[in-house]
Amino acid sequence: MRPGKQAGNAGARLFVRAIFGAGVWLSASAQVLPPEAQRAGATWLLKDCDLHDQDQLGPVLRMFKPQFETFFLNALNNGPTPQLLMDAQTAASKEFDLRQQALRSGKGLGLSDADLQAARKITREQYLEQAADDFTISYKSRAVSGLGVVAGDAGKAALQALAADPKSPLQGSAQQALIQLQTASRQNAGPGGRRVP
């Protein structure tokens, strides 16, 4: 099997395990949801959803807004579960091994000698730490974007606090989520600003 194929399979296995792990966490952190809703929440947190995915998942999230608001607030505040982090680091460790193989020769990577040397100096520990940080930020960013679909008062307050914090890596995501909420609110308002059922 080719190294790229191995990394892809490891990523797919991580995603499947993470879906089930997040589904269990979803059940514990929110009111009981049907399996379809649990899968939707887990998928939202663990996958970079394109517009098509968001169009499919959004209606499910909106159907259970209060439960998903709690779920996304928990995901934002707590980050990924320890098992999800461990799975992400396991996948990153395999990626590091493949990266090291490629960096040995350095051919075909398009890196200057200086960049190649700098890349070779990164240790496994540094790589795994960065991967865990990236995974956590990505996970929380997806929680923020989920709040952009389902936030009530508590979710809006959390988004407003993040949007106002210039030091938060989630500031831009929170600002976008608030815009999304405002847009949805305007679209649901009827004549005279009244809410359309």
**What is the structure's pLDDT at 148?**
94
**What is the structure's pLDDT at 187?**
72
Residue 194 domain-assigned (yes or no): no
Residue 53 domain-assigned (yes or no): yes
Alpha-carbon distance 34 to 194, whole Å?
31
Percent of the chain with pLDDT over 70: 76
Residue 195 domain-assigned (yes or no): no
Residue 193 domain-assigned (yes or no): no
Residue 192 domain-assigned (yes or no): no
Confidence check: pLDDT of 94 > 70: yes
**What is the structure's pLDDT at 191?**
53
Which amino acid would we find at residue 47?
Answer: K
Query: 123 pLDDT band (50/70/90 cuts)?
Result: very high
Question: How many domains does the structure of the chain reveal?
Answer: 1
Find the domain containing 94 and state its range. 3-187
Residue 145 domain-assigned (yes or no): yes
Residue scoring higher pLDDT (107 or 176): 176
Indicate the burial class of 1 (C-beta count within 10 angstroms; 0-12, 13-18, 19 or more): exposed
Residue 106 domain-assigned (yes or no): yes
Q: What is the pLDDT of residues 2-14, one digit of tens each?
A: 344 444 444 444 4
Task: Taking the CA atoms of 80, 159, 183 and 72 in sequence, report the sign of the dihedral they define.
Answer: positive
Q: What is the pLDDT of residues 22-45, one digit of tens each?
A: 444 444 544 577 888 888 898 899
Residue 196 domain-assigned (yes or no): no
**What is the structure's pLDDT at 15?**
45
pTM for the model stands at 0.76
